[in-house]
Structure 1
Amino acid sequence: MSLESQVKIFKWISIFEGVSFLVLLLIAMPLKYIWEAPEMVRIVGMAHGLLFVAYIFGALLLFKPLQWKTKTLLIVCLSSVLPLGPFYVEKKYL
């Protein structure tokens, strides 16, 4: 697989991970705690968890091919726990 296609896949994972985090925070969590409907947290939470793991794994795979410094890898990985972080990474580092 070419580096270009690896980066493209990581961009999509980054976007989906960011969207799933926002859906979890802004829709699923209020449904659970305000309207006592926890079902969506289970579904969105699982999807977000899988995307989070894929995001971290993708960042580790791209570390050497993109010649990121360790600091850049840390920024990319830490951005995954910020609500808009993956979008920042997608624009700045990819």
Structure 2
Amino acid sequence: MAYGTDWLAFAHLVIAVAFLGPLVDPVRNKWVLVFGVAACLGVLPLALIAGPIRGIPFYWRLIDCSFGVIGVLPLLICLRYVRQIEQTT
């Protein structure tokens, strides 16, 4: 019952479903990977600007930033592979 009210978890699941598109057709759904890169980069200013406003400790903000930095790495690798697929077809 408690899971039904957890909207943050629901949003994560919905966003995760969008990332199935590049598995099916990577070239056509490259925009999903670009969206993911933008989201990862957006974590940095959000954590560094909104963190102090909300009173979040600095080391927690650095941990939040690490999700964006670490999350962008596999997305950039996937984008490189998609570009290789585009060039071969």
TM-score, normalised by the number of residues in structure 2: 0.49
- TM-score, normalised relative to structure 1: 0.48
Q: Which has the higher contact order (CA 8 A, sep 6+)?
A: 1
Bigger Rg, which one: 2
